[in-house]
Amino acid sequence: MKRNPQEEIEEMEEEDNYVNAPAWTVDEVAAPPDQRSLFFSRSSPLIAVCWLILLVIMGLRIYFGIVLESKITNLTTQNQQLETQNQQLETQRNNLTKQIQDLETNWNKLNVSRAQWSIDAYCPKDKERQCTACQKGWGLRDSNCYAYFDAAPPNRKTWEEARQDCRGRSSDLVVVQSQTDQDHGDPTSCLDMSP
């Protein structure tokens, strides 16, 4: 690209004007001393307020940091106590579950034992093992089994004692309601209530 000599001269003059331009000095830019103190006197309260706000924020941060740390410590302690209580309750629950299982096992054994007792009472283990309507020592009357206890006068029992004795034999004391029943028994007749 070719340039015109006139353009080159104009360009050189512009550069010369730019290079030879007067530079600004520090003295020309700086404000007079009375204006500088005016600037600082106007900005001092603003700077003081900023510092005060900064100090308040820092103080609040420290205060709430301490409060929160204290609350976190308390919550951690409470959490540990609750976990310990939970473990104790779990242990108690497991122990109770085992006790319940043991009781159920014992209950089942007692039921089997009672059933075996009933079988043995009504079907004695003799040579042929024949079953009867009433257990050994009891008599059958009108499809009920009775046991009669005729004690001599010094060994007789009160009504309550006789009832307790019958209940101990899985039966109940007979309540005499007719003259025929009264003729067949005494106050110590038991009615079998077992299956």
Tell me which of 186 and 90 has the higher pLDDT. Answer: 90
Region 33-42: mean pLDDT is 59
Whether the CA torsion 123, 124, 125, 127 is positive or negative: it is negative
Most confident of 5-9, 35-39, 155-159, 185-189: 155-159
pLDDT in tens, 42-93: 678 888 889 999 999 999 999 999 999 999 999 999 999 999 999 999 999 9
pLDDT in tens, 85-141: 999 999 999 999 999 999 999 998 888 887 777 777 777 777 677 777 777 777 777
pTM given for the model: 0.36
H or E element, residue 107: helix 33-122
pLDDT in tens, 148-174: 777 777 777 787 888 888 887 777 777
Burial of 185 (0-12, 13-18, 19+ CB in 10 A): middle
pLDDT value of position 168: 79
pLDDT in tens, 11-34: 766 666 555 555 555 455 555 555
